[in-house]
Amino acid sequence: MQLENAFDLIALLEAHHREYQRLLDELEGLTEMGIRVLLEESGATLRADALPVHQDISPGPRESGTAYLAAKREHFEGFDRAVLDQRLLLDELCGSLSGLFVRRKAEFPPLTRGRLLSFHFLVPWVSVEPFRRAARSLQPKESVKLLLSGPWPPYNFVDSLAG
């Protein structure tokens, strides 16, 4: 949403005053902590070169329809395994941080592109140091690298209002 001038801003704030106040009340005493997860080339990630069939490739003249469909099935089963592995990793990390955050959000990149997962946690200010200690001692089963960041304003927990 782009506002043309200060009057538009004032009008927006007046129109949504109750919603903004409710959101500020909900976020009172909370901050955002982040954990970035760099996936290795196995386990929770799916290498693009490991994909047996690409969506835009049709079967060759000597390739049977059955072989093509079997390769397609294997291709999509690889995606399913990678998505499941990423979800299990998130559950594992969240289990270790249980009781130290109020809400969580996760960003999963397209499987053939990204190896970086972003997890966001809404943490009470009084739990920031215990959260940091617990996050620094995380040792996930997957071969990954973790980067802890924060505290931040809780940007990822503010839903934008339709205007």
Name the residue ranges covered by the structural domains of the chain: 6-157
Distances (CA, A) of 56 to 51, 53, 59, 72, 95: 13, 9, 10, 11, 40
Each residue of 8-64: pLDDT tens digit? 999 999 999 999 899 889 999 999 999 998 876 544 444 443 444 344 445 555 566
pLDDT of residue 115: 73
Q: What are phi and psi of 70, to 5 degrees?
A: -65, -40
pLDDT of residue 108: 73
Tokens 């099935």 correspond to 73
pLDDT of residue 163: 41
pLDDT confidence bin for 145, thresholds 50/70/90 = confident
Note the pTM of the prediction, 2 decimals: 0.67
Q: What are phi and psi of 67, to 5 degrees?
A: -65, -40
**Is pLDDT at 6 greater than 50 in this prediction?**
yes
Distances (CA, A) of 36 to 108, 130, 141: 11, 18, 16
Distances (CA, A) of 38 to 85, 111, 113, 134, 149: 14, 13, 12, 18, 14
- DSSP-H helix ranges across 118-160: 128-136
Adjacency order of strands within the sheet including 144-152: 103-107, 116-124, 30-39, 144-152
Each residue of 109-141: pLDDT tens digit? 765 555 788 899 999 999 999 999 999 988 877
CA distance 154 to 156: 6
